[in-house]
């Protein structure tokens, strides 16, 4: 179904969306409870979180598959149980300047998906699936049903099989275009082959403005997305000047690691109330 349909079904505002990337991913350890709660309290429209399977079939929030990127652990997340993972320090590697580590020893854990959903009972979420294992997909969908997320979640993934399986099992859920679909849309826009684009099954496309030196977002892709009623969400935008330019360009939303930097841009355009004077 279209972006217009899902935007209304998810009760999203018709204006461009401000989306917290991994919560407030540059002020707090990403995908952790402090990061998610700070983004929620700041007033973002939605929060993007990354989901990954554990060895015992649970789901944790993490963008990276290897533990040393974020915690004091080592090895792949998928080779550890949830209990083992939650004994690690998920704030161990976080540093705002490369020299200080303010959250080491602060008791921050890797978060399970049920814990995240318990903490965010009314928040709109982007669920980024970091695996296409069938058991993992079934577990994610079971959590969506258990917590009633059908009316406040969009699922996205770089794994085509993950999105394909979600659509097969629960076709009513809002899903974004996977990597292969984005590639086809980009190619069609580049060659101006709009009439040969296959029927749309996603409600949005999520793209960077540039990738590996290639300009991904341009007028052709924007116009194709509009013609298909696809939401156009850009990641990851951390510079206010870039946010100004992209809003002028006509995007439907942006993901940011710094909601505090981007919210004033929205406020100046009367797209959001002014950010709070006291930032958490």
Helical H segments across 10-158, by residue range: 33-42, 82-85, 113-119, 134-147
Point out which residues pair with 156 in neighbouring strands: 128
If phi over 0 gives left and psi between -120 and 50 gives alpha, with beta otherwise, what is residue 58? beta
Question: Which fold, 3-65+112-268?
Answer: TIM Barrel (3.20.20)
Report how far residue 50's alpha carbon sits from residue 68's, in angstroms, rounded to the nearest whole number. Answer: 17
Tens digit of pLDDT for each residue in 200-251?
679 999 999 999 999 999 999 999 999 999 999 999 999 999 999 999 999 9
Q: How far is 221 from 224, CA to CA, in rounded Å?
A: 5
User: Quick one: what percent of the chain has pLDDT higher than 90?
Assistant: 86
Average pLDDT score, the chain: 94
Q: Give the model's pLDDT for residue 31.
A: 98
What's the pLDDT score for residue 274?
80
- Are 235 and 246 in contact by the 8 Å Cβ rule? The answer is no
Q: Any idea where the domains of the chain sit in the sequence?
A: 3-65+112-268
State the pLDDT at residue 199: 57
| The pLDDT value given to residue 222 | 95
| 109-150 per-position pLDDT tens digit | 999 999 999 999 999 999 999 999 999 999 999 999 999 999
């Amino acid at each position: 179904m279209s972006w217009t349909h899902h935007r209304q079904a998810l009760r999203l505002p018709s204006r461009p969306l401000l989306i917290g990337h991994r919560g407030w991913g540059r002020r707090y350890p990403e995908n952790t409870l402090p990061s998610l709660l700070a983004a929620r309290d700041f007033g973002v429209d939605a929060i993007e979180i990354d989901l990954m399977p554990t060895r015992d079939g649970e789901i944790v929030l993490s963008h990276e598959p290897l533990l040393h990127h974020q915690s004091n652990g080592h090895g792949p997340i998928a080779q550890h149980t949830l209990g083992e993972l939650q004994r690690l320090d998920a704030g161990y590697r976080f540093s705002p300047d490369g020299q200080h580590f303010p959250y080491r020893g602060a008791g921050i854990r890797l978060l399970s998906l049920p814990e995240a959903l318990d903490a965010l009972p009314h928040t709109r979420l982007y669920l980024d699936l970091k695996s296409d294992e069938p058991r993992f997909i079934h577990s994610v969908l079971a959590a969506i049903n258990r917590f009633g997320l059908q009316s406040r979640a969009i699922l996205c993934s770089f794994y085509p099989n993950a999105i394909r399986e979600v659509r097969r099992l629960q076709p009513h859920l809002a899903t974004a275009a996977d990597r292969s679909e984005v590639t086809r849309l980009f190619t069609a826009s580049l060659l101006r082959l709009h009439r040969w684009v296959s029927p749309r099954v996603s409600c949005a496309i999520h793209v960077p403005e540039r990738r590996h030196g290639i300009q991904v977002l341009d007028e052709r892709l924007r116009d194709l997305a509009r013609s298909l009623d696809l939401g156009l969400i850009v990641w990851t935008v951390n510079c206010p000047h870039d946010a100004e330019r992209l809003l002028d360009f006509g995007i439907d939303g942006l993901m940011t690691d710094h909601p505090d930097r981007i919210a004033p841009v929205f406020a100046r355009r009367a797209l959001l109330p002014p950010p709070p004077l006291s930032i958490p």
